[in-house]
Structure 1
């Protein structure tokens, strides 16, 4: 039996030894009535636990009943880091969501991961958050949400009595308003791309500006989603971190292709590699090129022309094409996805109803109104007032409104 600073490693168990209230306490670590085996991970946990116990004893906040309930012989639960990993393993989520959760877990582990769940205090969490004053409120709330959920699972599993994260208040943060490009900027960017970049890139940029598709939807769009006769496209999938999935809202939608979007798509299709050269039997003249065949329905529409592979995300496009174009044109930088905001405001400034615009964008009407209310108001007040004046003018003061003249 080895004893290293209060951790006694036995053949099939681990025992903690510490002095409390003038008495030597020896407690075997147990989970669900069975001794915790002395695996490397469990031994590591035991050392973290004894260190935390001694810290709490010195601070006068240690409780045997809290750390060793069930007649004082069972230490339930584990370290925060272990609980975070366990919680993540129980989640049935998309890979993109899992990546976000993993980022939060990566934040918490070096700060409080070594603490036993039963030892985590409200102040420990606040101190951990103060180590990163650069984080915005939204990120802080996402990180706290993951920790709160993981600890709540421990409460439900009866490993904790109370959730130490429950009382942590959400951080305040101000959502950035839409920052669209104006029409002049749009035309400059499109023209620059047509002059300096591969046509595949130029067509994609124009298509984005005049359809408003999300980045993930654009990189996931396939030729089979295009209805050339009706000039429509079906947006039903997205690609996030290289994984094909449903759209952000988990709802498919039909998007009408206006003349600019349709023309960009036609140019893109017609520029695809042509089929093999057609040789006319017995002809002496040079062979005639065959017209391009229709693209396979399950092939991706927009590819990175440098490699002939689908775009995985926005970063490569942003670094190699988008940022240099804006810099060369002297246009204030905004991310490529702001082309989506640009299309939404185009719809509104053209007089489209919020219900139609929301349907094209894949928003609920309520969400659309909350995001783009400024453009609904701006420039349309006089038009709406004129509608009211025409309505009023058709009725004399003595005529009931339900008997207005034709």
Structure 2
């Protein structure tokens, strides 16, 4: 009887082989089970767990396949780059999504090249050779990949495995940071109006709220009804949705902030109440599932559809955040207030990033300035329609 292949498995007459990739190499390991339907299901679950351990960087051959020739070779000297990498990852107190990203970068780029080397023997010249051998798609990708690499050596210094950190001399490459590309007030109005006519109200409410609060995509998904202060027209932004797995994490700056609601944002929130307030959990839900958005993919889909139908130049839905910031500055809102609303790390960051939209400073209510800007736009539109009659 010939071997039969299933997803990730090879079924033999008297055994089952589990297939998986580790550090860019394919493995097939046999398990001593007769290939019955129940045993095949068990093998499939084993493979899922093996893949999870590989992804998180804790997989060891000897735990799963003690009789494998690869398990015999697995005894490695202490303090190799790979072993220190695992210690470094376990020491991190970061969001799960960040740790997963670091794990992927280490497994993809650094462990295949440096894994068996003792960290004490790795020199700066070795690192330069490895870094320069990789065809990076962009300077930003390269810089991001260097972060966990440096982290491993910094951990090795802190753990007194080595005295000096050879990675400290690896410099980031300069790259052009894209300039904010906001939508105009007219474009923002067209998009929200189209969504209210053609999409689910939950989707339209989310986008209008995004345009008029400047929350990050992950913060919108993590907003709870318990964060809403109707009396003072504010919301408390204190968590964000993780990119992988849909769990919750602290905000990007690890700070809780209060965001003042202008009239447009409050109206969108009022309209959303009938759809999700009764559950007492997330404010914005996916109308197709009734649950919170696991990723931003669904939002990107209907937002992009609105842009195409309206003939508006494509920009990511995240640019609703840039739109809020620039409209606030154009209306004359205080730069410090805008920075606080946006949750920027400093006012200097807001000044640097959005300087060309700054129109002045005022002591008036900052939300009222944005309401006035919107009202002026509505009056101009009404006057234009009267002139056409």
Hey, what does 1:88 align to over in structure 2?
89
Question: Could you say what the CA RMSD is over the residues aligned between the two structures, in angstroms?
Answer: 2.5
Hey, what does 1:148 align to over in structure 2?
150
Displacement of 1:197 after TM fit? Answer: 0.9
Hey, what does 1:104 align to over in structure 2?
105
Match of 1:315 among 263, 273, 297: 297
SS of alignment partner, residue 264 of structure 2: helix
Displacement of 1:78 after TM fit? Answer: 3.5
Say whether residues 1:337 and 2:338 are aligned partners: no
Contact 1:221 1:237 in 2 (8 A): yes
Match of 1:250 among 247, 254, 257: 254
Unaligned runs of 5+ in 2: 1-68, 363-389
**1:329-368 mapped onto 2 (5 Å cutoff):** 329-363=310-344, 364-368=346-350
Instruction: Give the Cα–Cα distance (whole angstroms) in 2 for the partners of residues 365 and 243 of structure 1.
Output: 30
Contact 2:136 2:142 in 1 (8 A): no
CA shift digits 1:347-382 (9 cap, x unpaired): 000010101111211222122112111211xx559x
Instruction: Give the Cα–Cα distance (whole angstroms) in 2 for the partners of residues 175 and 102 of structure 1.
Output: 26
CA shift digits 1:173-205 (9 cap, x unpaired): 222221111112112211221122111101111
Instruction: Give the Cα–Cα distance (whole angstroms) in 2 for the partners of residues 373 and 41 of structure 1.
Output: 59
Contact 1:77 1:118 in 2 (8 A): no
Sort the Cα spacing of 1:308 and 1:373 in 2 relative to 1 into closer, same or farther, 3 A. Answer: same
Q: Which has the larger radius of gyration?
A: 1
Q: Would you say how many aligned residue pairs link Structure 1 and Structure 2?
A: 290
Instruction: Give the Cα–Cα distance (whole angstroms) in 2 for the partners of residues 123 and 183 of structure 1.
Output: 53
Contact 1:234 1:255 in 2 (8 A): yes
Instruction: Give the Cα–Cα distance (whole angstroms) in 1 for the partners of residues 211 and 205 of structure 2.
Output: 10
Match of 2:73 among 43, 49, 53: 43
CA shift digits 1:283-333 (9 cap, x unpaired): xxxxxxxxxxx635x411110001111012212321x31222222222222
Displacement of 1:77 after TM fit? Answer: 4.2
SS of alignment partner, residue 180 of structure 1: coil
Instruction: Give the Cα–Cα distance (whole angstroms) in 1 for the partners of residues 121 and 71 of structure 2.
Output: 19
Instruction: Give the Cα–Cα distance (whole angstroms) in 1 for the partners of residues 75 and 169 of structure 2.
Output: 26
Instruction: Give the Cα–Cα distance (whole angstroms) in 1 for the partners of residues 281 and 149 of structure 2.
Output: 41
**What is the TM-score with the length of structure 2 in the denominator?**
0.68
Instruction: Give the Cα–Cα distance (whole angstroms) in 2 for the partners of residues 162 and 137 of structure 1.
Output: 26
Match of 1:373 among 335, 355, 361: 355
Unaligned runs of 5+ in 1: 1-38, 47-75, 273-293, 384-406
Hey, what does 1:225 align to over in structure 2?
227
Say whether residues 1:269 and 2:301 are aligned partners: no
CA shift digits 1:135-157 (9 cap, x unpaired): 33233223223212212332444
SS of alignment partner, residue 213 of structure 2: coil
SS of alignment partner, residue 303 of structure 1: coil
Instruction: Give the Cα–Cα distance (whole angstroms) in 2 for the partners of residues 144 and 250 of structure 1.
Output: 23
Hey, what does 2:62 align to over in structure 1?
none
SS of alignment partner, residue 174 of structure 1: coil
Sort the Cα spacing of 1:195 and 1:111 in 2 relative to 1 into closer, same or farther, 3 A. Answer: farther
Displacement of 1:270 after TM fit? Answer: 3.3
CA shift digits 1:250-304 (9 cap, x unpaired): 22222121111111111121355xxxxxxxxxxxxxxxxxxxxx635x4111100
Hey, what does 1:211 align to over in structure 2?
213
Hey, what does 2:38 align to over in structure 1?
none
CA shift digits 1:25-80 (9 cap, x unpaired): xxxxxxxxxxxxxx96683465xxxxxxxxxxxxxxxxxxxxxxxxxxxxx74432
Contact 1:223 1:295 in 2 (8 A): no
Contact 1:137 1:172 in 2 (8 A): yes
Displacement of 1:125 after TM fit? Answer: 2.4
CA shift digits 1:89-108 (9 cap, x unpaired): 12222213212322321221
Say whether residues 1:183 and 2:185 are aligned partners: yes
CA shift digits 1:197-256 (9 cap, x unpaired): 111101111110011111111101111221223222121222213222222222222212
Contact 1:355 1:365 in 2 (8 A): yes
Displacement of 1:85 after TM fit? Answer: 1.5
Contact 1:354 1:368 in 2 (8 A): yes
